[in-house]
Amino acid sequence: MVSPTTMAAVRKSGAVPNSEFLLSAEGVRKEFPGVVALDDVTFKLKRGSVHALMGENGAGKSTLMKILAGIYQPDKGQVRLKGVDIELKSPLDALENGIAMIHQELNLMSYMTIAENIWIRREPLNRFGFVDHAEMRRRTEALFTRLNISLDPEMPVGELSVANRQMVEIAKAVSYESDVLIMDEPTSALTDREVEHLFRIIRDLRSQGIGIVYITHKMNELFEIADEFSVFRDGKYIGTHASSDVTRDDIIRMMVGREITQMFPKEEVPIGDVVLSVKNLTLDGVFRDVSFDIRAGEILGLAGLVGSGRSNVAETLFGVTPATSGTIEIDGKPVVMDNPATAIRNRMAFLTEDRKDTGCLLILDILENMQIAVLHDKYVKAGFVEEGRLAADCEEMSRKLRVKTPNLSERIENLSGGNQQKVLIGRWMLTNPRILILDEPTRGIDVGAKAEIHRLVCEMARNGVAVLMISSEMPEVLGMSDRVMVMHEGRVTGFLDRAEATQIKVMDLASR
Ligand SMILES: Nc1ncnc2c1ncn2[C@@H]1O[C@H](COP(=O)(O)OP(=O)(O)OP(=O)(O)O)[C@@H](O)[C@H]1O
Ligand SMILES: [Mg+2]
């Protein structure tokens, strides 16, 4: 049914009534072995609007969008494009019908250049039938000018930061000149400034009549960019509303079906002796003279813009890229952090920011992904792995983290993004670390699970773990940290105590 007011709008626009919606899905069902990912779901996207999808990890958001992008076929239900029933048989089919999707997990080839990645399988050819690199470069530059992106098209994607790879993905999707653009958590790796940039691009596309689907876990983004939103819970469609009609609490209630009061349940715990002491740590050309201590029970937040060297410091601490100079002491003893094995032996744990490249072993199952850091350690007795005890502990951990899966033998690749992140957090918690380094720990994690992870981190701190937490999310940094260390362009620009730390002070230090 179309209401009289919208009918008028439709008539004015000159469109036929049943094409009020650019893209719609009705009665969609999708099952995977052991999981009903979508059950009788409805979704309707208007022209020239931004439609946000909200819901807990595993609610079915990505699955629905993969159906609309031709990656999965629905078991039941109908997809309509501009009022016409269609079946999208492949991603290429969807692209040819004007539907492009930017995936939650980035999909670029790291050994290829930016330009090659964008025009893959549609490379311009010269008259000899070879790829015309000059033309490809020119097209990329034109695209980047339009989107205000300043990157060299010839750069290999592998050398880009996660944020810049994200921008390339966005540019690639835009380059298809689609009517529908689906973005699955596009800002999970972006900082505020880059998010602003993306929002300018989105507003521009919207004003050209493009319909944008925007999956996010960030409430403030919803209010800033979305015209309307739909909520899913456990594979079911809950409802669609205009963003201006609701409050944050309304949405959370729709998402989780209950109230969440404590977002950052930071507890005061006794702070013990210095566990990790870092002096003048330097990685030539990347960061220099980084010095700090973390005590048992202390959570040191590390803030700064993307590119300020935060993740590089974490990688050096963990021995991934050993320092050129400076010292690392653990419990007062100097340690040469030459590789990750040394770090693990010193009971250090590191949750990396890049889930796909350095985190998940996609072809393995959940259990294997969880055990991997402890296999050679506390579960080995007389040369044998105590598999039963290990499996039981993994089960327990995944219950604690509320990992949504039929069982732990599911391939991790099949888990929703947020649930993959939970498995990785579980992996490191199982190692029973003394020092825990977290790089963007709650990226892609829904509100409920976020509170749960924060609670677990606090619990570890209470047990005497020294925590270094990198986060681009200001409420998380301010809410969780005992102290905040801020970096800018490879230098530490200051420390703020919990009591004095504010968003403005952090931002100020982050840009000095
Ligand atoms: N290829 C697959 N094989 C098996 N199960 C799958 C597959 N893809 C998704 N699922 C399951 O379907 C459910 C919905 O997953 P989906 O990725 O759509 O969630 P989501 O809402 O995008 O969550 P998140 O916010 O964590 O990204 C989950 O239980 C997931 O494990
Ligand atoms: Mg998802």
For ligand 1, is residue 184 a contact (CB within 6 Å)? no
Which residues, given as ranges, of the chain have pLDDT below 50? 1-17
- Domain membership of residue 233 (yes or no) is no
The predicted-structure confidence for 346-384, as pLDDT tens digits, reads as follows 999 998 876 655 666 655 777 777 777 776 667 777 777
For ligand 1, pick from 53, 63, 366 the residue to mutate: most ligand atoms within 8 Å of CB: 63
Q: Is residue 310 part of a domain?
A: yes
Single-letter amino acid, residue 238: I
Is there a domain that residue 29 lies in?
A: no
Q: How far apart are the C-alpha atoms of 396 and 403, rounded to whole Å?
A: 10
Residue 182: phi and psi, rounded to 5, are -105, 125
* Domain assignment of residue 301, given as a range: 274-347+433-510
Task: Return the pLDDT at 356.
Answer: 58
Query: How many whole angstroms separate alpha carbon 170 and alpha carbon 55?
Result: 23
Edge-to-edge order in the sheet of strand 50-54: 84-86, 76-81, 21-32, 35-46, 236-242, 228-233, 50-54, 211-215, 180-184, 99-102
Q: Provide the pLDDT for residue 98.
A: 92
Neighbours of 408 (CB within 10 A): 20
The finding on whether 233 has its CB within 6 A of some atom of ligand 1 is no
pLDDT at 361: 65
Structural domain includes residue 390: no
Query: Which amino acid would we find at residue 488?
Result: H
pLDDT the model gives residue 355? 61
Whether residue 301 contacts residue 480, with contact meaning beta carbons closer than 8 Å, is answered with yes
Ligand nearest to the backbone CA of 61: 1
Instruction: Give domain status of residue 137, yes or no.
Output: no
Ligand lying nearest the CA atom of residue 41? 1
CATH number of the structural domain spanning residue 300: 3.40.50.300
Domain-located, residue 74: no
| Confidence (pLDDT) at 360 | 61
Total domains present in the chain: 1
pLDDT score of 452: 81
pLDDT given at position 53: 95
Q: Do 309 and 316 meet the contact criterion of CB atoms below 8 Å apart?
A: no
The sign one gets for the Cα dihedral 303, 304, 305, 307 is: negative
Q: Is the CB of 98 under 6 A from ligand 1?
A: no
Tell me how far apart the alpha carbons of residues 155 and 426 are, in angstroms, rounded to a whole number: 36
Rounded alpha-carbon distances, angstroms, from residue 337 to 314, 330, 438: 12, 11, 18
**Structural domain contains residue 79:** no
pLDDT of residue 473: 82
Q: Using alpha carbons, select from 194, 164, 162, 215 the residue that is nearest to residue 416.
A: 215
Give counts: helices (H), strands (E), the chain. 17, 22
Which ligand has the minimum distance to the alpha carbon of residue 184? 2
CA of 185 to the centre of ligand 2 (A): 8
Distance 37 CA to ligand 1 centre (A): 6
Question: Does residue 180 form part of some domain?
Answer: no
- DSSP letter at 332 equals T
Q: What is the pLDDT of residue 312?
A: 93
Please give the pLDDT value at position 403: 86
